Amino acid sequence: MIKAQRGTKDIFGDESLTWQWILKNAQDVFQNACFQEIKTPIFEATELFARGVGDSTDIVNKEMYTFSVGGADKDSASITLRPENTAGVVRAFIEHNIVRQSPPQKFWYFGPMFRYERPQAGRQRQFHQIGVEMFGIKEAAADAEVILAAVNFLKSIGLGDLEVELNSLGCTKCKNDYKESIKEILKPYLENMCDDCKMRYNKNPLRILDCKNEDCQKIFELPDVKKVIMADYICEDCSTHFNQLTKYLDNLNIKYSRNKLLVRGLDYYNRTVFEIKSSALGSQSAVCGGGRYDGLVEMLGGQPTPAVGFAMGVERLFTLVNKIQSKKIDYFVVSTDSLEAMKLTQKLREKGKVVDFDMQGRKFAKQLEKASKIAKCAIILGEDEINQGFYSVKNLESGEQIKLDSIEEL
């Protein structure tokens, strides 16, 4: 028997109803906030993620599904199943010259992503993300609008007790100064750090702060190291931007805290980075992550454009929400005449009713047994009903049965 690949999952039955409900809430919340849906391809040129996500990230170095296409008679190309969607949305933003539209340009998306990593609860190799991206606004109001959209959506699916963790990575100059300070303070300890941190040391030392290795964590707690890590390197403009964001969040009554170790896992972030946490997840409490990436559009070949967004994993959300149970259908047509049963079923469906019928021509008792499990009412269509032109309708909860002359009475 051929089975689904490790790290993938079939979604069907009542489980799919909960997924549909989550997606419907996302659609309602984001469209009410004037975000338009965007759908991008699930594979892109590998270069897009190498340049956009960053070659110092675990995603690019370890987790991408990359393969070559083309043969001797055509140009070969390297393509990658998307590990995240921000780079793809930015590519579409540039390719279709959306920058010419009046800002802000606001998008939301839902779809599968792919990363080769160890499967665990709420995390698969094929997983799904809901996210938003906003382009064209450099002011902190855009950061607040994006965070508010995320909080409103999470509340709409029943997640309360939310807290936003914030940090500011600063602008390019701020980040470079901070990187150099981190490299200087960590240099004496580099031999005792993990291999990933040794690689990040030169490529992107900020990513070191995202390391979960216990030995590295102990180094971060050393007084001289911690003093540098916790220092505030952001310039006056970046500080003003961050303070303005906190004023918006205060005004919106959104609970937040500052986390100096929060750097997020992707290279393109600048200034604001954030995670939204729910106590329902315990130690793995983050349900959403995002931030500002003002340089990414230009980095990928577009005009300089400020941008901010977030993404959240649907599999993780699924573990937290109340599950939707399938409801009983309106009617089940019970008849040994499948031609008449199908005809009546179609008429009722055209009226907006949820209806099914037996396609196997089984005995009435078997059909009624199935109807009692899946339907509110049974419409009995026997010889008398067909010949005399009436319908027998049985309420399967109360047992009451009535005779109707027309389906218009249903």
Residue whose tokens read 């199935």? 370
Asked whether residue 371 carries a pLDDT value surpassing 80, the answer given is yes
If you classify domain 14-170+234-320 with CATH, what class do you get? alpha beta
Q: What is the pLDDT of residue 54?
A: 66
Share of the chain above pLDDT 90, in %: 56
pLDDT tens column, 189-205: 888 888 888 888 877 78
Point out which residues pair with 403 in neighbouring strands.
392
Is residue 26 very low, low, confident or very high in pLDDT (cuts 50, 70, 90)? very high
For the CA atoms of 14, 18, 21, 26, the dihedral, rounded to the nearest 10 degrees, stands at -150
Q: What is the pLDDT of residue 126?
A: 93
Residue extents of the structural domains in the chain: 14-170+234-320, 329-409
Q: What's the CATH code, domain 329-409?
A: 3.40.50.800
- Strand 307-313 relative to strand 126-135, pairing: antiparallel
**For the residues 136-159, what does the mean pLDDT come to?**
96
Burial-class residue 364 by CB neighbours within 10 Å (0-12, 13-18, 19+). middle
pLDDT tens column, 75-132: 678 899 999 999 999 999 999 999 889 999 999 999 999 998 887 776 789 999 999 9
State how far the alpha carbon of 78 is from the alpha carbons of 43, 45, 264, in Å.
10, 6, 27
Point out which residues pair with 234 in neighbouring strands.
none
Asked whether residue 32 carries a pLDDT value surpassing 70, the answer given is yes
> 14-170+234-320 with 329-409: one CATH topology?
no
Which residue type, as a one-letter code, is found at position 273?
V
Q: What is the pLDDT of residue 74?
A: 63
Q: What is the pLDDT of residue 170?
A: 86
- Start-to-end Cα distance in the chain: 47
- Distance, CA of 271 to CA of 175 (rounded, Å): 9
**Over the chain, what is the mean pLDDT?**
89
Whether the full predicted model's pTM is greater than 0.75, yes or no, is yes
Q: What is the pLDDT of residue 284?
A: 55
State how far the alpha carbon of 168 is from the alpha carbons of 276, 292, 306, in Å.
15, 9, 15
Asked whether residue 72 carries a pLDDT value surpassing 60, the answer given is no
**For the residues 352-376, what does the mean pLDDT come to?**
93
Asked whether residue 325 carries a pLDDT value surpassing 80, the answer given is yes
Least confident of 23-27, 193-197, 292-296: 193-197
Contact 304, 274 (CB under 8 A): no
Higher confidence at residue 63 or residue 280? 63
Q: Annotate the chain with three-state secondary structure.
A: CCCCCCCCCCCCCHHHHHHHHHHHHHHHHHHHCCCEECCCCCEEEHHHHHHHCCCCCHHHHHHCEEEEECCCCCCCEEEEECCCCHHHHHHHHHHCCHHHCCCCEEEEEEEEEECCCCCECCECCEEEEEEEEEECCCCHHHHHHHHHHHHHHHHHCCCCCEEEEEEECCCHHHHHHHHHHHHHHHHHHHHHCCHHHHHHHHHCHHHHHHCCCHHHHHHHCCHHHHHHHCCCCCCHHHHHHHHHHHHHHHHCCCCEEECCCCCCCCCCCEEEEEEEEEHHHCCCCEEEEEEECCCHHHHCCCCCCCEEEEEEEHHHHHHHCCCCCCCCEEEEEECCCHHHHHHHHHHHHHCCCCEEECCCCCCHHHHHHHHHHHEEEEEECCHHHHHHCCEEEEECCCCCEEEECCHHHC
- Distance, CA of 272 to CA of 170 (rounded, Å): 8
pLDDT tens column, 59-69: 676 788 888 87
